[in-house]
Structures are given as structure tokens and as C-alpha cells.
Structure 1
């Protein structure tokens, strides 16, 4: 597993082109640096910023609980639930339908912790990372992400902040201001089959797209559970 941090001058402030929004956001320079953040695999990293469309609760011939496409509508990832799972287990699948990650909710976890394993495994030796709410009570979405090697969990490896209701969240490296991806509600591609529940994530260069897709699914699940329990 590769985890190399991008340089501190990795971002700049600008408005997202093609996005129908008045909100100014931070997007990546399309730099050709060699630093990368790889959790699932280097094949899921691009040398340029990537916009992916997230479709929630998709009921179509593709099936699945969540579908991730590129801006042209080509499926990149799917997340599907497994039957008779006590841990709310889901699989992140690639374009061939092969499992990349197994995502499962840890039972009786006060911070709604999710654990993510390689492939379809649930063995502790295959644990890649875990995600939990930063605090038990919080008004906005704030999640801490810990890589498997970070057993003490004194400082998170990644952090997600923002408003899930507004579909405006940013994924940072640890407690820094280094952004690796951000979620925004509007998208520039207009397709009827995307539906009202779709939104966009902009992933920065040399960042693992499969890792970000898994984080977004967990973010959605944790916030759905929070709203259901309120």
C-alpha cells in the first residue's frame, strides 16, 4: 500500500467550470507530480483531476446500491449489498463485477465505525482502513479515516468534513488543509437516467479513485443511519 502526500501547494482557489453553482471551491492543478495516494491500487490513480458521477439507490438494469460513472455515463464502480448480512456488508465491484473491497459496519460501534477489507475478505489481515464519526454528536458530516497500519488511531490519516445534506464535503489528508477530493451537488452532465439523487466528486491527480468511491459510500450510509435514528 502506497501512501505518499502531495506537495503543500497542491491546490488553488477557483470556480469549477461547467458547474451551475455560485459556490467557489478548491480544485486541483493538473500537475504531473509523482506523489500518489494509493490504498486499493495504482491502476485507480490518474495523472489528472477526475470527475465521477455518484448515483444513489439506482433501480435500473445495472442494479446495485450505488453506481459510480464517469462524465460520459460509463460505469466505473458499483456497490452492492450481500444477502443475510448481520454487519450490513457491501462489496465494491470493478467494471467486470469483480470485488475490489468488502465494506462492513462494525456491530455495536458507538461512532458508527465501518471497516474495509481487500477483495471479498473480512479477515483482519486483509483490513485496509476504517472509518468512523469524529464525535458521537455532531451537526455536520465529519468522519475520521484510519489506515490499517495506524493501530493507535491518535491522529487520523484522512478526514471528511462538510454538509452531507448539501452534498458539499471535502476529503483532506489527516488534519491538514491538503485536499484530495471534494463532493459537490451539481454536475455538468445532464442525463435523465442519473436521477435527482446524483452528485459529483472531483478527485485530485494521483489519488486512488476506488478508495474515494468507498469513502463516499460509507459517508452516505453513516449519514443515512444518523437521519434514521434522529
Structure 2
């Protein structure tokens, strides 16, 4: 089955676009292989009492889909997302000396500007609830965001929208268990809507986690 061309522009959406999953064409940000014609539910497990191997993404059967590269020597502003075969999928870098907590995502283990996938930044300097803007690499003017994240990271209730519309492409919700609390883990679920790149959504979640940790340590 051949998919249409990947989503590349914020102009596709308008503020009046209704909420209507699934999206008619794949939102292939990282790659079309991560777009499914049905909803994808992922479980995120974050070990809060350890440094290494702290962030793992599985399917509902417990199979590892992605994990964050674990290294005691890795820089706080540099994260690599690996697939189940340990291949680098996305490299995340935080730009230093920026006021809006700006992050960039690159393909594989690259940091070359030609491999830039998207940029994420806070919508405003002062925030009581999470509000982040995401700009694809092709959106160089950054006048209108391609995706927006709203909600509360503390409550694990963030929602990812397409541009400035009300169209939801993914959403998070808590999943606490007795075992997760006892073993120092934070568990939550992510539902990625049909035809939406779930590798892209996982990259957004990793950045959200890093931003939240920064805010907690201030």
C-alpha cells in the first residue's frame, strides 16, 4: 500500500478545522513506516530512581518499541531515541542560551542542519500549563506552528494538535499501578491517532520529559 506524500506544511490546517480522526493522509514526520491506518497505543515507562535506561516505550504486549539511549556520560541537552534493534531513529538537541527552551530533532544520530526534522519551543516564557509549538524543518518562517502541545505534563494529560486547529493527533493519559510506584516507575499511555507518525509523537514526549525535569530542578 502506497501512502500519499508526507505532511510538510502548516498551511494544510486552519483554525476552523474540526476534530476528526483519522487524518486523511499520513502525517509522516520521521518516516512513513511509523504511520499506521489504525490507532496506536504505546506505554511509556520512566524509571525515576535510576539514571540509565530510564525511558522505555512499549506496545500493549510489553514489546519494546523505542528506548532512550542510556549513558551516564550523555549530556542533558543531547538525547538519542533508539528502535528495538538499537538503531538511532531521532537525535534530540537542546539549543543553549535560548529563552523559549528550544529543542531540535535530527534524523538518526545526526546533528547536521540538513537532517533537521523539527524544532520545538515554548509558546510563551511564563506558563502555568504546558503549551509548546512545533515547527517542521520546511517551515523556516515559523509564523504558524505545524503542531501544538497543550495540557499538564504533571498530570500526564497533554494533547498534541495539528497546527492551530482543534484536530487531535495524539494524547496522553496516566496509568499508575502498585508495581510502578513500588519500583520507582512512572507509567502512562499515549494514544497516537490513525495515520500519525508515532516515532514523532515519542520524540515530543521525550522533549516534554526533559523540559519538565528542567522546570522541577529550577
TM-score of the two chains, using structure 1 as the length reference: 0.81
RMSD across aligned positions (CA) = 2.6
SS of alignment partner, residue 37 of structure 1? coil
> In structure 1, which of residues 38, 57, 62 is the aligned counterpart of residue 28 of structure 2?
38
* Count of aligned pairs: 206
Corresponding residue number in structure 2 for 1:23: none
Q: Does 1:166 align with 2:170?
A: no
Distance 1:184 1:53, change over 3 A: same
Q: CA deviation at 1:215?
A: 0.3
SS of alignment partner, residue 211 of structure 1? helix
- Give the Cα–Cα distance (whole angstroms) in 2 for the partners of residues 159 and 56 of structure 1: 23
The answer (yes or no) to whether the contact 1:183–1:200 under 8 Å persists in 2 is: yes
Corresponding residue number in structure 2 for 1:16: none
- Give the Cα–Cα distance (whole angstroms) in 1 for the partners of residues 129 and 144 of structure 2: 20
> In structure 2, which of residues 126, 133, 143 is the aligned counterpart of residue 154 of structure 1?
143
Corresponding residue number in structure 2 for 1:138: 127
Question: Hey, which bits of structure 1, 4+ residues long, moved more than 6 A?
Answer: none
TM-score of the two chains, using structure 2 as the length reference: 0.85
SS of alignment partner, residue 158 of structure 2? strand
> In structure 1, which of residues 202, 210, 218 is the aligned counterpart of residue 199 of structure 2?
210
| Gaps in structure 2 of 5+ consecutive residues | none
Distance 1:191 1:69, change over 3 A: farther
- Give the Cα–Cα distance (whole angstroms) in 1 for the partners of residues 105 and 72 of structure 2: 18
Distance 1:86 1:221, change over 3 A: closer
